[in-house]
Each structure stands twice: as C-alpha cells, then as structure tokens.
Amino acid sequence: MPERTDPPGLSNGVLLRLAFRNVRKSARRSILTASAMTLGLALLILSRTLADGAHESWIDQGVRLGAGHVAVQGEGYQTSKSLDDLLSAADLDGAVEALGSPQFESRVSAYAPRLTAPGLASSTGSSVPVLLTGVDPAVEVEFSPLDDLLAEGRYLEPDDRLAAYVGEGLVRRLGLRIGSRFVVTAADADGQIQGQLLRVRGVFRTGVPDLDQSLVHLPLSTAQDWLGTRGGVTSLAILMWSSRTAAAARRELRDLLPSRGVEVLTWTETAPELEAAVKIDDLGDWVFHGITLAIVALAILNAVLMSVLHRRREFGVLRALGLTANETGRVVIAEGVMLSVISGLLGIALGLGVVFGFWSDGLDMSFLMDQELEISGSLIDPVMVPAFRIAQIGWSLLFILFIGISASLYPARQAARIDVAEAMKFER
C-alpha cells in the first residue's frame, strides 16, 4: 500500500484543550489521584521548610556560642588555640573598620570580639578548670544566647570591671552566690601565671552540664589587662543574617584585610561538626523525598494508565477521526502533566498554607524532649521555625513536571498503540 503523506497535524493548542477536557470529565478519578500528588508535595514543602528552618537554627545557635558565621582570627590560632596567635589590636580595628563598609551592612547582623583562654577558678573551698571568655557586654547581648539563659542576677554591663557571668554548675562546685568573690588563674600572653579577682554578677543555666560548669564570661578589657594581650583578642566573631551568605562574606573580607597574621574562616571551618550534622540531616531528608516522589509518581502512573485503559473506545474514535498515534500520545502526556501541575500547585499551596498558617512562629517539639539536646556542641532549640526559600519552590515545580511527564510516558505509549478496530469493540 502506498505511503500516504500525513495530513497537517493538530496544533498543540487543540491537543491541550483536549487534554484539559479529558481531565475535567473524569473529575472524581482526577481528584483522587491528585490527592496523592497534593499530599506528597505538601509534605515535601512541610518537611523542607521545617528542616531548613531547623538547620538554620542549629547553625545560628552553634555559631553564637562559637566563632560566628565568619571569624577573623590570628594566623594559626585555629589549630594552636594559643595566646601566641592573637589577633592584634591593629588587625582587630582593621577588621571592624572593614565591616563598617556598606557592602556588609545589609548582611551582617552583629560582630563580637572575644578573648578566650582556659584557666582555673578557685574559691576558699575548691577549684575547677574553666574556659574564660572576655566579652564586650554591649555587643555580646545581641550575639550570644547565654544572656537569655539567665537564672539569677544579671548579665555583664559595659561599665563592669570585675563582674563574671558563670554557670550554675560552677556556682555549686565552688560554693558561690551572687556577689561572691573568686579567683581565676591562667597563663598570660607571655606564658606567666596570672591571677584575677572576679565577682559573680549573674548565673546562667543551659541544662548542659559541661557548659554550666566551665563557661565564664568576663569583661573584655579586664581579660585583656589580666592576660597582657595589649588590646589583642583571640577572635572577632561575625554573625550574618543568613548562613548562606557566609562564604561570600569571607571572600570579600579576606580581600580587605592584610594577608599576613590574619585568617578569615567560615563556620564550616570553625565548626565542621555542625556542618556535618546539617548535611547528614539533609541527606536523610532527600532520601525521604525521593521515596515520597517515587510513590507519588507511581500513583500518577496508575491513574493515568487507568484512565487510558478506560477510554479505549474513545481513543479509537479519535484515531478513526484522524488523530495520529503521536498526537494521541501527546494528549495523554498533556493530561498527565496537567493533572500533576494542578495537584502539585495545590500541594505547594497547601503545604505553605499549613506551615505558615499554623507554625510561622515555630513548631514546638519540646513535648518530645525532657532534656536539653545538643548537636556538635550547640544547644538545640526545640522550636522549629520554618524557613522559606524560592529555590525550594523551583525544585518542587521541577519535580512536579518531571513526575508528570515520566509517569505519563507509559500510558501514552499504550494510548498510541491502540488498535482502532479493536478499540471499537469496547463500550467506552
């Protein structure tokens, strides 16, 4: 039989309208299938936003107690942790000045200079090893979570000289009260042992025994005098509004500061365990998403296939009327994609609605936890505040399309291969 040339095909617009009409017609079936997709995506959005929010919170908590999202330190301090590798007063000023420039203004939330050294705290009764941190009270209140964990007394104030902010555990072991005196001893910048008198002005409780026994905050100027650092500090910790801007900020700051004697580090280097924890959690999440979407894809496949198999006669008629196999296939794919897109968008909307409607202030998980939980040294806030990211929506839409298309491929092939004559035998 001679090959006949195909007549000009139907335009995509017509195919789409056909697809849309089909979807609308089998409304109930569509809705049922759509539910799977809607639910799946809603869950995806839910878990991603909560997880992103939780991670940001972990990082935030961790870097506040630690070295900030970005840290400016003396060269070699990260490994030696010794007062030999201080950030000099001049370099500190340089860094602060650099941070004042407009490029950082919108991204930097706060910065705090710290002088950290290990030492011994003694009272008349006993002595306990501690980690001393000289802080600038005015800045530190914005930076560190410790002042919020106040149990008694008050946090340090700018005019304090001998005030110390200590943990409950330390107070108990040394037999101290608010106002009590105690002496801290440490090796200064020249390696000589020096003592310093301090008075307890405030007591904090983190719930983590190690922190409650060993952290001591004292005024930065007092610490500098005591340890003879001549205005130097061990680090300048910088807090960004979002942890994602840290890498860029580090690069820019690196360029503005002298290349010798100064190191600029991001939190991934100063708190690698924190980064690892986030990554592992993310990984688990992606695995979960993968599974979710696989199941949704199967559901969609199932639904589209069903609908095709139930409309054999209809497709047969269409083919008899001139619709090509290829066009039939495309209609089915269009149906599948449409179904996916509608239900997917609904899912996204549902997910966002639920998350930000109910839990925009945070989902409080503390009913699950009696104790404080810590990851890689930073306290976990039991309240999970969701974080919204455009990229997330983008990925979700991509998934929807991907699922829609791939799930419809097989049914489309089936539809295209319908034998017209056979199809007429069916009722529908």
**Is 228 near another protein (CB under 8 A)?**
no
**Is 280 near another protein (CB under 8 A)?**
yes
Q: Give the residue from 226, 237, 136 showing the smallest Cα distance to 189.
A: 226
For the CB of residue 128, give the shortest distance to another protein in the complex, in Å: 7
Residue whose CB is less far from another protein, 141 or 409: 409
DSSP readout, 91-149?
HHHHHHHHHTSHHHHTTEEEEEEEEEEEEEEE-SS-EEEEEEEEE-HHHHHHH-SGGGG
DSSP readout, 158-187?
TT-SSEEEEEHHHHHHHT--TT-EEEEEEE
Residue whose CB is less far from another protein, 138 or 162: 162
Give the containing element (helix H, strand E) for 73: strand 70-74
For the CB of residue 12, give the shortest distance to another protein in the complex, in Å: 28
DSSP code of residue 83: G
Q: Taking the chain, what is the end-to-end CA distance rounded to the nearest angstrom? A: 31
Residue whose CB is less far from another protein, 128 or 354: 128
**Is 294 near another protein (CB under 8 A)?**
yes
**Is 128 near another protein (CB under 8 A)?**
yes
**Is 315 near another protein (CB under 8 A)?**
no
For the CB of residue 132, give the shortest distance to another protein in the complex, in Å: 11
Residue whose CB is less far from another protein, 283 or 398: 283
Residue whose CB is less far from another protein, 112 or 117: 117
Question: Contact region for another protein (CB under 8 A) — 15-23, 269-277, 334-342, 352-360?
Answer: 269-277
Residues 357 to 396 in contact with another protein, rule: CB under 8 A: 368-377
Instruction: State which of residues 76, 93, 96, 126 lies at the interface with another protein (CB under 8 A).
Output: 126
**Is 159 near another protein (CB under 8 A)?**
no
**Is 301 near another protein (CB under 8 A)?**
yes
For the CB of residue 179, give the shortest distance to another protein in the complex, in Å: 8
**Taking a C-beta distance cutoff of 8 angstroms, is the pair 407, 297 a contact?**
yes
Residue whose CB is less far from another protein, 244 or 320: 244
Give the containing element (helix H, strand E) for 202: strand 193-204
Residue whose CB is less far from another protein, 97 or 422: 422
Instruction: State which of residues 185, 221, 242, 245 lies at the interface with another protein (CB under 8 A).
Output: 185
Give the whole-angstrom CA distance, residue 219 versus residue 133: 8
Give the whole-angstrom CA distance, residue 173 versus residue 105: 44
Cβ contacts of 204 within 8 Å, gap of 6 or more: 146, 147, 149, 150, 151, 165, 166, 167, 168, 212, 215
Instruction: State which of residues 103, 109, 122, 406 lies at the interface with another protein (CB under 8 A).
Output: 122
- 3-state secondary structure at position 72: strand
What is the greatest pairwise CA distance in the chain?
110
**Is 161 near another protein (CB under 8 A)?**
yes
Instruction: State which of residues 36, 87, 146, 218 lies at the interface with another protein (CB under 8 A).
Output: 36
Structure tokens belonging to residue 184: 């801290």
**Is 162 near another protein (CB under 8 A)?**
yes
Binding mask 208-227 for another protein (x = CB under 8 A): --x--xx-------------
Cβ contacts of 149 within 8 Å, gap of 6 or more: 204, 205, 206
Burial of 44 (0-12, 13-18, 19+ CB in 10 A): buried
For the CB of residue 417, give the shortest distance to another protein in the complex, in Å: 13
Q: Give the residue from 229, 172, 160, 162 showing the smallest Cα distance to 197.
A: 162
For the CB of residue 396, give the shortest distance to another protein in the complex, in Å: 16
Question: Contact region for another protein (CB under 8 A) — 70-78, 252-260, 284-292, 389-397?
Answer: 284-292
Cβ contacts of 78 within 8 Å, gap of 6 or more: 263, 265, 269, 270
Residue whose CB is less far from another protein, 8 or 179: 179
For the CB of residue 404, give the shortest distance to another protein in the complex, in Å: 16
For the CB of residue 405, give the shortest distance to another protein in the complex, in Å: 18
**Taking a C-beta distance cutoff of 8 angstroms, is the pair 62, 239 a contact?**
no
For the CB of residue 306, give the shortest distance to another protein in the complex, in Å: 5
